[in-house]
Amino acid sequence: MQLSNIRTERFQRWIAGNKIFMTLIVLVFLASVTSEYFWTWNNIMNVFRQASVIGMIALGVHFVVLIGMLDLSVGSILVFSGAVILWGQNLFDLDIPGSFFLGAASGVVLGSLNGLIVTYGRVPSFITTLGTMFIYRYFMMWVADAGAVSGNRISHTFLGHGYWLGIPVVVFPLILAAVAAHVVLSRTLLGRYLYAVGQNSRAAFSSGANVRAVTIAAFAISGMAAGLGAVLETSRLNSISTANSGVYYELDAIAAVVLGGASLRGGKGTILGTVSGVLMFSILNNYMNLQNVSTYLQGVLKGLLIFLVLYRQNRLRED
Amino acid sequence: MSAATETESKSPSTGMRLGKVLWDQYSVIFAFVVLVALAAVLNEHFLDIGNITNVLRQVSIVGILSLGMTFVIILGGIDLSVGSVLAFSGTVIMAAQVTYELPIWLSIVLGLVAGALLGIINGFVITYGKITAFIATLAMMTIARSLALYYADAGAISGFDSSYSKIGNEYMAGIPIPVLIFGGIFILSYVVLEKTVFGRHIYAVGGNTQAARLSAISVFKVTILSYVICGITAAIGAVIETSRLNSISTSSSGHMYELDAIAAVIIGGTSLSGGRGRIVGTLFGVLILGVLSNIMNLLNISPYLQGVVKGLIIIAAVLLQKRD
């Protein structure tokens, strides 16, 4: 009797803490009721497939937002890593594991560079990553003459188009990354420190956290996620456009993270929330396609969704 | 107070202290002068009147957006929607002229009203809705662009009245009209920010919102007005942009302008945390970016490398300017 009471109470608290997840479920329910095509296996898989790249990036951006900073360079890192991956494939006949390694490694390098400028240069993260956003992308555009970089490995396209157990292959990396991110944030020292730095970096410093190392780690993880996102992005067409790929992805990712309940001031937000935020945008687009709403209007609904979900949610904010 | 005495005790001589003050206040102007001197040495045609007016004409649109952006950044906010607001206002202007055959002056008024309206919504959502400026204006960015795309089916709307294209292409007293508009709005912004009570209030709210509220400043009003100013400057940018080609492209007009405007404000020395910054700095930030891209064009350097240099300058400017 008592035990079940505690359980219900815990469950109620969990629901209160995961409002965005509940909103997602309501949205799925409404979509299923109003469209007969929505709740079919193929369509649901489509929703996941469409969410995969932004989802991967958002998981990384989540870490940076958690410490109260921003990473605007992830769209450019995606382009940079994408080109590196495809060149690596062409030169060394890399298979899928090699591509993932190359994507992650190049992303970690670029992300760490962001982190170094933020910590040792003491340049605000917004300005640092605005600068590197220009630097990374235009460097690759210069190298590739603003054209596309294409790969010639057929195995790579299996990632973008193949199925395993009836599920698009491209969804598995996203699920693995989400689980890994959740474990890091909830079960490791780094996770504790990330929340601590985000809530009060001075207090975190006083209690022994190496704030600089934690900050650099957050940016490295964000870069790595963008590099992994590049593997997924390139696998669709086996190519990447240095001028057009990844444009404004950083804003989509940040919007998803904030929609998922994280605060840009840091210290708040769960991976379940961020994944819900990403899926919400993806479902919105998918549903509007099913209902034949003009693609051009999708931006309006995306913006209104942000307004609606976040409107006066933060009543305690001081300013 | 304590900061001032600390600086005094640390500085060994009056000369160095003066140097520090000068550097803090005018480093962006020094950088600009050095850049111009360098450009003049590197290319003999740089100082030609034709080239100088070219630079000024090229920076005028983003320059006007940067002036409005300075208001909201000093306020401690940001406006990511200016590029999309430009496209939206441009669509309103061209639609008024082409579809509804309204007179030119009325179409311009409608465009400015549209910009102001989106600014009001931004300000309202930020203050009353309590959504962070970054996220609120990000949402507005997708909404305004999306509405423009929907109206024109992602295409362009072209006008037929050739007298409208005079605004973007003709000269007055030997100066291109867009440059005159840019100059006029600069003077206006300078006066508002530096010489009026409202300007003081923007600095106060950006510096310490709570203190501003306690000194009976209406944070609500100041915030909304600042975003309205930002929206109106975007709409003025739209007037120049549309009149240049007598057309608006709903998919590409204003694309990424918000980032260039923010970059110019940052290079101009305004702090993103609010409360500190000068409109004169923004003017020189705009000019630095313009001269840089011009001299690199004259030297035949790849436009893509110019993007790399722009990124480096953004970071370097902040590395050199701020010291706390």
pLDDT at A317: 44
Percent of chain A with pLDDT over 90: 54
pLDDT tens string, chain B, 324 residues long: the values are: 344 444 444 445 677 777 776 676 778 888 899 999 999 999 888 999 999 999 999 999 999 999 999 999 999 999 999 999 999 999 999 999 999 989 999 999 999 999 999 999 999 999 999 999 999 999 999 999 999 999 999 899 998 888 898 898 889 888 999 999 999 999 999 999 999 999 999 999 999 998 999 988 999 999 999 999 999 999 999 999 999 989 999 989 999 999 999 999 999 989 888 898 999 999 999 999 999 999 999 999 998 999 999 999 999 988 887 654
Of B147, B272, B307, which is closest to A138 when you measure between CB atoms?
B307
pLDDT tens figures, A187-241: 999 999 999 998 888 888 888 889 999 999 999 999 999 999 999 999 988 889 9
Whole-number percent of chain A with pLDDT over 70: 96
Instruction: Please state the rounded mean pLDDT for residues A251-275.
Output: 91
pLDDT of residue B162: 86
Give the C-alpha separation, A54 to A225, whole Å.
10
Confidence of residue A78 (pLDDT cuts 50, 70, 90): very high
The 8-class DSSP code of residue A167 comes to: E
Question: What pLDDT score does A312 carry?
Answer: 73
The pLDDT value recorded for residue A2 is 65
Above 90 in pLDDT, residue A17? no
pLDDT for B2 equals 40
CB-based contact A264 B153, cutoff 8 Å: no
Q: Give the distance from residue A201's alpha carbon to the nearest chain B alpha carbon, in angstroms.
A: 17
> In chain A, which residues have their Cβ closer than 8 Å to the Cβ of B266?
127, 130
A residues 161-200 closer than 8 Å to B (CB):
none
C-alpha–C-alpha distance, residues B65 and A308, integer Å:
28
Chain A residues with CB-CB distance to B207 below 8 A: none
| Beta carbons of A254 and B262 less than 8 Å apart | no
Continuous H helices in chain B: 2-10, 14-42, 49-74, 82-98, 104-127, 133-152, 166-169, 177-195, 197-207, 209-214, 219-245, 257-267, 279-298, 303-321
Tally A–B CB contacts below 8 A: 141
Q: Coil, strand or helix: which one is A200?
A: coil
Instruction: Report the residue count for chain A.
Output: 319
The confidence score (pLDDT) of residue A205 equals 86
- At residue A161, the pLDDT reads 83
pLDDT band at A315 (very low <50, low <70, confident <90, very high): low
What is the reported pLDDT for B12? 54
Residues of chain B positioned with their CB less than 8 A from the CB of A134: 259, 263, 307-308, 310-311, 314
Question: What percent helix, strand, coil does chain A show, rounded to 5?
Answer: 75, 5, 25
Q: How confident is the model at residue A319 (pLDDT cuts 50, 70, 90)?
A: very low
- Chain B residue numbers with beta carbons less than 8 Å from the beta carbon of A294 are 150
- B-chain residues near A114 (CB < 8 A): none
Smallest Cα–Cα separation from A170: which of A59, A56, A265?
A56
| Gap from A16 CA to chain B (nearest CA, Å) | 20
Within the 108-137 window of chain A, which residues sit less than 8 Å (CB to CB) from chain B?
A: 117, 121-124, 126-128, 130-137
Chain B residues whose beta carbon lies within 8 Å of the beta carbon of residue A258: 132, 135
Query: What pLDDT does A314 receive?
Result: 62
Nearest to B79 by CA among B203, B228, B182, B269: B228
Closest by alpha carbon to B126, among A232, A29, A319, A237? A319
pLDDT at A81 over 90: yes
CA distance A157 to chain B (A): 30
Dist CA A130 CA A249 (whole Å):
13
pLDDT of residue B320: 81
ipTM: 0.89
Rg of chain A's alpha carbons, rounded to an integer? 20
Q: Does residue B256 or residue A156 have the better pLDDT?
A: B256
In terms of CA atoms, which chain A residue is nearest residue B134? A264
Please tell me which of the candidates A121, A135, A255 has its beta carbon nearest to residue B311: A135
At CA A300, angle to CA A297 and CA A306, rounded to 5? 145
Residue A315 near chain B (CB below 8 Å): yes
Provide the pLDDT for residue A66.
95
Closest CB to A123 among B138, B263, B319: B319
Q: Is the separation of the CB atoms in B266 and B64 below 8 Å?
A: no
Closest by Cβ to B308, choosing from A122, A134, A264: A134
Least confident range from A4-8, A89-93, A259-263, B223-227: namely A4-8
Which residue in A72, A73, A125, A127 has the most chain B C-beta atoms within 10 A of its own C-beta, making it the best mutation to test that interface? A127
Q: Is the pLDDT of residue A16 over 80?
A: no
Interchain CB distance below 8 Å, B272 and A126: yes
